[in-house]
Structure 1
Amino acid sequence: MKKFLFVATGLAFVLGGCSKQGDLDLSSGVGVNVVRSGCPIVGVPEGLGDITIFRAGGAQNFSDLDVVANITEVRGSCNDSGAKIFSQVDFDVQARRYDTRAAREVSLPYFSVVTQGGSAVVAKRVGEVTLRFAAGQERASTRASATAYVDAAAANLPEDIRRRITRPRKAGDADAALDPLAQPDVRAAIARATFEHFVGFQLTEDQLRYNVTR
């Protein structure tokens, strides 16, 4: 599951860390400017935003489906004004059930994880989100949120790395054409200072295998 979780860290997420005036500009002088903030990137790891539950004792066939649900409308907010950066991820859970005869409550486990540099887990929590179906109701939805803290010192680039990235370069300088972001030690420092705040369903091995192979 860890291997599958971190496949997503190299992907581009629609939602990113918060940014504000004064944040470090990681542009190399040409192209698109990228503003870097200490706030974590937020998102849902690939394959962990859906959960499928089958009826007890049934096979993994369409006729045995019980409940399917997905995480959507992921929204990140952040406060990086203190020594600890506060990150909050708000999201919706939408579900459908296949037996609508009686009223029912369904609780689904989800995780909130903070990773550093795309691989190291620095914090994880597991919670539950509950959906309530009225009798005859096929679909239900609810909102949930997850919070976490990140050490601000760890999320900020060392001053020498900042200077190397932002130092003005003039035509004719020996290193004028060199992109500092392409240098291994600079890239490594940026990776160490980059945090991600992910949410997803806490799947069993069978549920994860189903998501991968369906």
Structure 2
Amino acid sequence: MNIARIAAPLAVVAALAGCSREGEISVEGGVGIQATRTACPIVGVPAGTGDITLFDPPASRDAAAIDVVANLTNVRAECADSGDDVVSTVSFTVQARRQRADGERTVTLPYFVAIVRGGTNVTAKRIGQVTLTFPAGQLRAQAQGQGTSVIARSAATLPAEVREQLTKKRKAGQEEAAVDPLTAPGVRAAVARATFEALVGFQLTDEQLRYNTTR
């Protein structure tokens, strides 16, 4: 599965996401924009990887052959960014439904946690498993999953000269006050390099991903 390809749309909002006391962009007199950013990665689920469908028999794609459907939800993160490394713990819930409730059943599903830099560059990826147990007579099951990402603070920090361009005070009426500093290629590239995403989703086969995107 090409994580870089499906993660790219998330980069659009990366530069304006997060929360911090530093790095604000502002213009005196209330004119312009104000945004904040943080070294913590933006957390998300790449398109097409938030659910998984199992079939019985496995090769069938008929609706009547659907066996188990699971969804990844309640994605959240806790971030510790006080040291040299930024550590983000991503947790989520998997909710599943099976078609037959004839007995107790255990289903194990694979998931990934990937770190993407600048919207397209996958710098790390880990695979985990979450196990769901369906009690006898029950159609639904739920389980919790978790993954941890570690990013060097130096990599997630904007260079001083770029921070100066972004935080420079601009007065209404000045020519530069009408220009978004993020339109400068060098500034935009630096923000992209310092922006990370922690993406979580089901580890799908090519066939499963194709099913999710074309059904």
**Shared fold by TM > 0.5?**
yes
The offset of 1:201, in angstroms, is 0.2
The offset of 1:82, in angstroms, is 0.6
Match in the other structure for 1:26:
25
Deviations 1:118-174 (A, max 9, x none): 011111100100000011110001111111101100101000001111112235645
Q: Is the 8 A contact 1:93 1:141 kept in 2?
A: yes
Q: 1:57 to 1:178 in 2, by over 3 A?
A: closer
The one-letter amino acid of 1:48's match is T
Q: 1:27 to 1:69 in 2, by over 3 A?
A: farther
Q: Is the 8 A contact 1:28 1:180 kept in 2?
A: no
Q: What secondary structure, in the 3-state scheme, does the structure 1 residue paired with 2:136 have?
A: coil
The one-letter amino acid of 2:145's match is A
Q: Is the 8 A contact 2:25 2:33 kept in 1?
A: no
The one-letter amino acid of 1:55's match is D
Alpha-carbon distance in structure 1 between the residues aligned to 2:202 and 2:125: 13
Deviations 1:30-75 (A, max 9, x none): 3552210010000101110010010135511111011100100111
5+ long unaligned stretches in structure 2: none
Q: What secondary structure, in the 3-state scheme, does the structure 2 residue paired with 1:187 have?
A: helix
Match in the other structure for 2:66:
65
Paired positions, count: 210
Alpha-carbon distance in structure 2 between the residues aligned to 1:12 and 1:174: 26
Alpha-carbon distance in structure 2 between the residues aligned to 1:71 and 1:175: 45
Q: Is the 8 A contact 1:68 1:95 kept in 2?
A: yes
Whose relative contact order is higher, 1 or 2, with alpha carbons under 8 Å and at least 6 apart?
A: 2
Q: 1:12 to 1:60 in 2, by over 3 A?
A: farther
Q: 1:142 to 1:27 in 2, by over 3 A?
A: farther
Q: 1:60 to 1:142 in 2, by over 3 A?
A: same
The yes-or-no answer on 1:128 pairing with 2:116 is no
The yes-or-no answer on 1:102 pairing with 2:111 is no
Aligned-CA RMSD value: 1.9
Alpha-carbon distance in structure 2 between the residues aligned to 1:121 and 1:57: 30
Alpha-carbon distance in structure 1 between the residues aligned to 2:165 and 2:58: 61
Q: 1:27 to 1:97 in 2, by over 3 A?
A: farther
The yes-or-no answer on 1:137 pairing with 2:138 is yes
Q: Is the 8 A contact 2:104 2:136 kept in 1?
A: yes
Following superposition of structure 1 onto structure 2, how do residues 38-117 of structure 1 map, counting pairs within 5 Å?
38-117=39-118
Q: What secondary structure, in the 3-state scheme, does the structure 2 residue paired with 1:188 have?
A: helix
Alpha-carbon distance in structure 2 between the residues aligned to 1:11 and 1:180: 16
The yes-or-no answer on 1:201 pairing with 2:163 is no
Alpha-carbon distance in structure 1 between the residues aligned to 2:126 and 2:160: 32
Q: 1:8 to 1:94 in 2, by over 3 A?
A: farther
Q: What secondary structure, in the 3-state scheme, does the structure 2 residue paired with 1:141 have?
A: strand
Q: What secondary structure, in the 3-state scheme, does the structure 2 residue paired with 1:34 have?
A: coil
Q: Is the 8 A contact 1:26 1:36 kept in 2?
A: no
Alpha-carbon distance in structure 1 between the residues aligned to 2:8 and 2:180: 27
